Structure 1
């Protein structure tokens, strides 16, 4: 439809069409005035001037837009319209009705294009100048505000209504068209955001956010960084999968992975991948809080996961499932992290010795044990209680590996109900884990501690302050003071 094509045009294109329409109407009114008015001169040539303005209009508009901007272009075009109206008013000798019609159309153009008052005033001065120059050199002076013929009045109002009507119709339809487009774009944006959110679940959250913010690109690249890697799995899950039906197995696995992923998200870890019941998480990319802080955050996450696993285990046992336990390994070192694969299918992951070391530490860990490498221990030892483990040999790792077991995080003050005690001082080392001790074993432990206390008391009695063992009382030699010895000798001589 023609109207639809008008509406779909850009405002600059419609402005040219609307201006063409107005100039044609002015030309029609001036020509009719030429044939109906008694005192005319060169009015018949006025349409040629309007045609010249229309011919230079596109090039002038493009030049103004290229050299300046849309605002300057609107100001210049309005000034051009004022000059055309001034020539028209000079041609019709300020015919009363035609003058009001032309001025109303000009006022409508100023309001529609949001021309400021200062520009309107300057354009008015330009119009008055053009008006008098046209009178002097072309149309001459005649009776102003003369009576207008009925034909011109009717035709003028028809042209004015048509000019206003077309402009208002375009504005309304354009607003409706833009609203429809805005709604369409809004719906498409929501649809794409929903799709992006769904696709983001197949990639680490931090990576997806970096891509959406423009900080990272989906291309094959990698970098070398020092990171902390966490690896965990459920002990005996492979054997369990042979005894449970698929639905129960899927429930346990999804319940476990869901809670562990929520904890990883809370601590800012990058969840690399799920490999069955195994989870690979790393800290240090795409965002890092420093190598030491990344290691501490990773260990805190591991402790939170171990605590959460206790709650899950109790719930699963009440539901009739077997008690499940996890093993965790943590390692810190340099790895290559980035996108690996092909241009049409890639994966964001890490590659390096310490990534393998974390997996091997997890395999070597005992039930509910968090085993860390020595590099990790050096970074977190001031904040966490760790127990040394004998060096172990791991598959794919050359030489013995020094490992440590994470007990708990140091508190500012010791709690009365703390579960771990670890005290070491010059030949004395007490390591007590109440999580592993059973209630019926407490009397035996108390007896052992009481025997230790009695032995220490006996040792304190048997040794002096220098740690030398005391002799029996009859074996001790008492030294007499010198003055007592002299007096005893004198008494002996007197005798």
Structure 2
């Protein structure tokens, strides 16, 4: 519209120098302030040229152009320019102020929504909340079957302890314990499913996974870190006058169903399956401060962790005897120090030892047999010299005869 007005005006004044210059200046000033693209400016200029030609042809005629401007027209033109700039700046200031207010309003709303989202995220697993915020997951009833590693732990004797503590002390101990354990789980990128009193259900493999084997190793390493942290907490609590507390942990690996369960208006992201129940039963069967794992988990982590076999046990809700392992520590330094398999053969000697097949109650008998072998080898070593010739006892040895001494005696 501005281009049409300017084109008609310039045709009316026959391109007098001062009005023409000021009109073009005002037009380009407005275009730059409005941040109009170069292509639009070119199209507008072409439209203005066409309107100027048509106005000249049909309205004002082809009179001499570029004549000197009269003093009155010059003054009027300059006053118009001043008014144009003043009014333009006024409306531009109002527009900028309005945009700034809208931007601040949207920023405040976004900050408020982010604060609300952060508060709500504390009631759901961090990985799930991040997936939903990134648009990678939807809040709807769905689940999937995956091979995952499940972790279950609780505080031994916490139920009895709750009968002796006042609610405030009980809440302090529980929140202190859960906050530290959850922070460790976060470091290992685990998904914290739920808290059930002093019990914690954690799993690896969804929504983020590093592979089944690495998930199992991360879970076991997390359990070791929790056991170490519990030692520190136990010492601190003892100094505060509380009784010593210990944890029990169970880990199992297998196929589970994970996803959103419930109703459309109230759902929970959780995991279900046999191995969830197995992890809970292993935790219940574990001794204090023990990490008890299933054989499936052991097969995935045995290259990185030292484990001791346990007697197969029967667990409630689990069919048949369950082979279990106790996690001792993570391998450090030379793995030969924790070698599980020995196969050594030499002339007259062949030893095959697989510690993975030996139960802990069989260790004394195994040590006794090996000690007998060592003792017999030591005895045999005293009966044979370095050349392999049998040695007589000292009293049976025959002294060598010196012929020169016998001749002297004769």
Q: TM-score range with shorter-chain normalisation?
A: 0.7 to 0.9
* Structure 1 residue 285 corresponds to structure 2 residue 206: yes
Match of 2:30 among 95, 98, 109: 109
Matched residue, 2:133: 212
1:167-218 deviation per Cα after TM superposition (whole angstroms, max 9, x unaligned):
2222211111111222222222122111111111111111111111111111
- Tell me if structure 2 keeps the 8 A contact 1:306–1:326: yes
1:409 corresponds, among 330, 342, 349, to 330
Match of 1:382 in 2: 303
User: Matched residue pairs, number?
Assistant: 367
User: Do the aligned residues in 2 keep the contact of 1:96 with 1:148 (CA within 8 Å)?
Assistant: no
* 1:271-322 deviation per Cα after TM superposition (whole angstroms, max 9, x unaligned): 1011000000000000111111111110111111111111111111122110
Q: Is the 8 A contact 1:331 1:376 kept in 2?
A: yes
From 362, 366, 375, give the equivalent of 1:458.
Answer: 375
Alpha carbons of 1:128 and 1:462: their partners in 2 closer, same or farther (altered >3 Å)?
A: closer
Give the secondary-structure state (helix, strand or coil) at the position aligned to 2:325: strand
Instruction: State the distance in 2 between where 1:451 and 1:118 align.
Output: 95
Distance 1:280 1:186 in 2: 38
Are 2:174 and 1:174 aligned?
A: no
CA distance in 1, matches of 2:245, 2:48: 91
Q: For 2:133 and 2:283, locate their aligned partners in 1 and report how far apart those are by CA, in whole Å.
A: 34
Greater relative contact order, per chain length (Cα 8 Å cut-off, separation 6+): 2
Please state how far the C-alpha of 1:98 moved relative to its aligned partner: 3.6
Instruction: Give the drift of 1:232.
Output: 0.3
Q: Please give the alpha-carbon distance, in whole angstroms, between the structure 1 residues aligned to 2:57 and 2:339.
A: 110
1:221 counterpart = 2:139? no
> Hey, what does 1:339 align to over in structure 2?
260
Q: C-alpha separation between the residues in 1 aligned to 2:195 and 2:124?
A: 11
Identify the residue that residue 347 of structure 2 maps to in structure 1. Answer: none
- The 3 A distance-change label for structure 1 pair 247 and 129 is closer
Cα 1:451/1:127, change in 2 over 3 Å: closer
Deviations 1:109-143 (A, max 9, x none): 33234457787678667756764565455423435
Counterparts of 2:98 and 2:254, CA distance in 1: 59
Q: Match of 1:92?
A: 13
The equivalent of 2:107 in structure 1 is 186
Confirm or deny that 1:142 pairs with 2:80: no
Q: Which residue of 1 aligns with 2:364?
A: none
State the match for 1:310 in structure 2: 231
* 1:349 matched residue in structure 2: 270
Q: Is the 8 A contact 1:135 1:141 kept in 2?
A: yes
TM-score for the superposition, normalised by structure 1: 0.66
SS in 2 for 1:390: coil
8 Å contact 1:97–1:148 — kept in the other structure?
A: no
CA, structure 1 residues 428+122, in 2 after alignment: closer, same or farther (shift >3 Å)? closer
Deviation for aligned residue 1:101: 3.9
2:175 pairs with one of 254, 272, 280: 254
1:237-272 superposed Cα distances (whole Å, 9 cap, x missing partner) = 000000111111111111111111111111111110
Deviation at 1:106, TM superposition (A): 2.1
CA shift in 2, pair 1:288/1:385, >3 Å? same
Distance 1:357 1:98, change over 3 A: same
Partner of 2:188: 267
Query: Greater strand percent: which structure?
Result: 2
- Quote the Cα distance in structure 2 between the aligned partners of 1:94 and 1:458: 123
2-side partners of 1:303 and 1:350: how far apart?
23
Question: Are 1:362 and 2:283 matched, yes or no?
Answer: yes
In structure 2, the CA distance between the partners of 1:157 and 1:307, relative to structure 1 (3 Å rule), is same
CA RMSD of the aligned region, Å? 3.4
Paired with 2:157 and 2:316, the residues of 1 have a C-alpha distance of: 20
Gaps of 5+ in 1: 1-18, 23-80, 432-449, 465-472, 475-495
Higher mean C-alpha deviation, range 131-140 or range 190-199: 131-140
Distance 1:451 1:116 in 2: 92
How is 1:118-157 mapped onto 2 (pairs within 5 angstroms)?
A: 131=52, 134-136=55-57, 138-142=59-63, 144=65, 145=67, 147-148=69-70, 150=72, 155-157=76-78
Match in the other structure for 1:398: 319
More helix by share: 1
Change (3 A) 1:351 1:158: same
Secondary structure in 2 matching 1:93: coil
Indicate how the Cα distance of structure 1 residues 401 and 118 shifts in structure 2: closer, same or farther if over 3 A, else same.
Answer: closer
Q: How high is the TM-score relative to the length of structure 2?
A: 0.79
- In structure 2, the gaps of 5 or more residues are 343-350, 357-366, 382-391, 394-410
